[in-house]
Chains A and B, each alone.
Chain A
Amino acid sequence: DIVMTQSPDSLAVSLGERATINCESSQSVLYSFNNKNYLAWYQQKPGQPPKLLIYWASTRESGVPDRFSGSGSGTDFTLTISSLQPEDVADYYCQQYYSTPPTFGQGTKVEIK
């Protein structure tokens, strides 16, 4: 199974500041035949199910604010929140879907400083 490792486990950022979450996969999730990275990001607020933010490593899901962006390729990926808002307080998970089983990172808790 591909192991997904996120860093940091938690971070506190001031309102309006940038938040950066890293995700590393134990093997590449880039498919050479279509040049796509099989990597998604989810946001989960307390008591709610996860919500898809980003897929194909950098494609924003419809309706997701443009302050959320994804980048990276191969084994190293980043989710960036460009200007943290109060409603962004949540847990964030990366997930690879390059191979079965799909696997998630351990999660990163984002809080307001």
Chain B
Amino acid sequence: QVQLVESGGGVVQPGRSLRLSCAASGFTFSSYGMHWVRQAPGKGLEWVAVISYDGSNKYYADSVKGRFTISRDNSKNTLYLQINSLRGEDTAVYYCAKDGDPYRSGGSYYFDYWGQGTLVTVSS
């Protein structure tokens, strides 16, 4: 069965950096685009970034462009999100989510599996 397990969250001071990971299993990771979606406490869902199945294409939300970097290691079945210059508004649960179909070149799609999420709290 598909499993996505995020890690790397925690309490971080404003301006610092953090790297989130998402370990995938139960499907052919290298065939699927992967996304990060976040949810601030008590708020709705906000898409953050996507990376194509082969890592060649990446897209970001305007709110994180230039500060966040999405990457993947298909040999380790792991997705990453490097978060720099953290701000209070980045406080959220960060979910990794899997594209609904394989071999897409990136961009917008629906998400058929989600991880449980990892909480990032930005606070001094």
Question: A interface vs B, CB < 8 Å?
Answer: 38, 40, 42, 48-52, 55, 61, 93, 95-107
Contact = CB atoms under 8 A, between A and B. Distances in A.
A40 B110 contact: yes
B93 to A, nearest CB: 8
Nearest to B101: A55
Contact of B45 (A48, A55, A100, A104): A104
B43 to A, nearest CB: 9
Tell which of A38, A93, A104 has the most Cβ of chain B within 10 Å: A104
A42 B112 CA distance: 10
Given A49-B115, A50-B45, A98 B100 contact: no
B114 A100 contact: no
B108 A102 contact: yes
Contacts of A105: 44
Nearest to A1: B62
Interface of B: 44-47, 50, 59, 61-62, 95, 100, 107-117
Contacts of B47: 101-104
Nearest to A104: B45
A107 B40 CA distance: 13
Contact of A49 (B62, B95, B109, B110): B95
A50 B47 CA distance: 13
Given A97-B108, A102-B109, A104-B46, A50 B61 contact: no
A31 B60 CA distance: 23
Contact of B44 (A55, A97, A98, A106): A106
Contacts of B95: 49-50
Contact of A38 (B108, B115, B116): B108
Contacts of A106: 44
A68 B108 CA distance: 24
Tell which of B44, B45, B117 has the most Cβ of chain A within 10 Å: B45
B35 to A, nearest CB: 8
Contacts of A55: 100, 110, 112
Given A100-B108, A101-B108, A104-B44, A51 B100 contact: no
B46 to A, nearest CB: 7
